[in-house]
């Protein structure tokens, strides 16, 4: 039997670590193929030596998490996957990184090591391409960084855009004026801004033109200086649209392009995605960063990770 000492934890922290009716321990038992009992310390039985090393690191990471958030099965699985991607030290550093405090004064932090890489890549480069599955925080973290830079006067405005036509649908057949036509496509961008700034502050900044949310087609002919520009759902751009967008970059501007290459909805069959093409031809250019997020970085409900993997497996058959 192995012992992991919990001397530095309060009774409440031990209860949080173990979970209600020790449900967190049951998750760890499945991950490490062992038996665990929590008394004053953690008692571990029937575990392979190689797995014990990782389990001890995992417990250290979970104890650090206890300082800032609630532990549940999803978070335990996420940290397990993240330890497969990076060292304990790298994962601990991601937990200490606070990007922004939202409208509810909640600290926004990277939840996986790849999310920390995403944040650092955007900070370091003028142009960043972030590719990966839905739910990995690509657009959300880009908008968090955009708001943070605006608040710190590092940019003068934020421009958020998406291709307005998806899955072959045409705006001309939708009712209403331009705003009413495109707002449903842009709603995920509004949602992130509302969480960061609150509804009133967001609407005020939009009214003043400091935050602009527009369809990609309306970017043509513009040069954007001192702006943080985010193109979301970029897998649904053509190579021509992507070239047009990239050349909007002005002095003092930062550009982030996000998308999921597995969810391409271009209306023409065999049309090449501008996002996929750009990731190929822009690799290795100084000032341009490219990050590939993984299923393990999905921060939505833990079932989203499983569902995504099943669909990928089915497509390979």
Q: DSSP letter string over 253-314? A: -EEEEEE-TT----SSTTPPPHHHHHHHHSTT-TTEEEEE--GGG--S-HHHHHHHHHHHHH
**240-248 average pLDDT score:** 95
- DSSP secondary structure code for residue 250 in this structure: -
Question: How high is the pLDDT of residue 251?
Answer: 96
Which residues on neighbouring strands pair with residue 259, listed in sequence order? 131
Tell me the CA end-to-end span of the chain in Å, nearest whole number.
43
Q: Is the pLDDT score of 5 beyond 80?
A: yes
Question: How high is the pLDDT of residue 185?
Answer: 67
More confident position, 168 or 140: 140
Lowest mean pLDDT among 96-110, 119-133, 135-149, 272-286: 96-110
Q: What is the 3-state secondary structure (H, E, C) of 139-161?
A: HHHHHHHHHHHHHCCCCCEEEEE
Residue 125 · residue 284 · CB < 8 Å: no
Q: Are strands 127-131 and 107-108 parallel, antiparallel or unpaired?
A: unpaired
Residue 144 · residue 130 · CB < 8 Å: no
Q: Is the pLDDT score of 244 beyond 70?
A: yes
**157-166 average pLDDT score:** 82
Other CB atoms within 10 Å distance of the CB of residue 300 = 15
Q: Give residue 55's pLDDT band: very low, low, confident or very high (50, 70, 90).
A: very high
Rounded mean pLDDT of the chain? 88
Which residues on neighbouring strands pair with residue 100, listed in sequence order? 108
Residue 231 · residue 257 · CB < 8 Å: yes
**221-234 average pLDDT score:** 95
Which residues on neighbouring strands pair with residue 211, listed in sequence order? 158
How far apart CA 266 and CA 200 sit, in angstroms, is 35
More confident position, 89 or 180: 89
Which residues on neighbouring strands pair with residue 230, listed in sequence order? 160, 256
- In sign, the C-alpha dihedral spanning 281, 309, 312, 264 is negative
Other CB atoms within 10 Å distance of the CB of residue 282 = 17
**199-206 average pLDDT score:** 94
Q: Which long-range contacts (CB under 8 A, 24 or more apart) does 8-11 make?
A: 9/63, 9/66
**41-46 average pLDDT score:** 92
**212-239 average pLDDT score:** 93
Residue 74 · residue 301 · CB < 8 Å: yes
Question: How high is the pLDDT of residue 169?
Answer: 45
Q: Which long-range contacts (CB under 8 A, 24 or more apart) does 99-105 make?
A: 99/141, 99/144, 99/145, 99/148, 100/144, 100/145, 100/147, 100/148, 100/151, 100/196, 102/195, 102/196, 102/197, 103/194, 103/195, 103/196, 103/197, 103/198, 103/201
Could you give all domains of the chain from N- to C-terminal order, each with its CATH number? 2-95 (3.30.1370.10), 99-299 (3.40.50.300)
Q: Is the pLDDT score of 145 beyond 90?
A: yes
- Kindly report, residue by residue over 170-198, the tens digit of the pLDDT: 555 445 555 565 666 678 888 999 999 99
**87-97 average pLDDT score:** 86
Q: Report CA 303 to chain centroid distance, whole Å.
A: 17
Percent of all residues in the chain with a pLDDT value above 70, rounded to a whole number = 90
**236-252 average pLDDT score:** 95
**133-145 average pLDDT score:** 93
Q: Give residue 229's pLDDT band: very low, low, confident or very high (50, 70, 90).
A: very high
Contacts of 260 (CB under 8 A, 6+ apart): 131, 132, 133, 134, 235
């Amino acid at each position: 039997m192995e012992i992991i000492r919990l001397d530095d934890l309060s009774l409440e922290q031990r209860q949080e670590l173990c979970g209600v009716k020790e449900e967190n321990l049951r998750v760890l038992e499945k991950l490490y193929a062992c038996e665990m009992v929590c008394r004053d310390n953690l008692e571990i039985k029937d575990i392979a030596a190689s797995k014990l090393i990782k389990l001890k690191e995992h417990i250290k990471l979970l104890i650090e998490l206890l300082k800032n958030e609630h532990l549940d099965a999803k978070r335990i699985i996420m940290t397990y996957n993240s330890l497969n991607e990076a060292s304990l030290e790298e994962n601990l550093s991601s937990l200490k990184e606070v990007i922004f405090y939202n409208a509810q004064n909640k600290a926004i932090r990277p939840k996986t090591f790849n999310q920390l890489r995403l944040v650092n890549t955007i900070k370091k480069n003028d142009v960043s391409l972030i590719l990966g599955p839905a739910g990995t925080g690509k657009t959300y973290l880009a908008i968090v960084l955009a708001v943070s830079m605006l608040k710190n006067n590092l940019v003068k405005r934020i421009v958020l855009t998406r291709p307005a036509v998806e899955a072959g649908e045409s705006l001309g057949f939708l009712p209403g004026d331009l705003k009413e036509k495109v707002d449903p496509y842009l709603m995920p961008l509004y949602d992130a801004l509302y969480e960061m700034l609150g509804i009133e502050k967001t609407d005020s900044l939009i009214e003043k033109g400091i935050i602009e949310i527009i369809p990609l087609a309306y970017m043509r002919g513009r040069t954007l200086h001192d702006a943080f520009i985010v193109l979301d759902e970029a897998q649904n751009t053509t190579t021509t649209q992507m070239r047009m967008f990239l050349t909007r970059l002005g002095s003092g501007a930062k550009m982030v392009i996000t998308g999921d290459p597995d969810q391409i909805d271009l209306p023409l069959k065999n049309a090449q995605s501008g996002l996929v093409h750009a990731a190929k031809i822009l690799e290795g250019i100084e000032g341009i960063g490219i990050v590939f997020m993984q299923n393990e970085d999905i921060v939505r409900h833990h079932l989203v990770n499983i569902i995504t993997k099943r669909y990928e497996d089915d497509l390979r058959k």
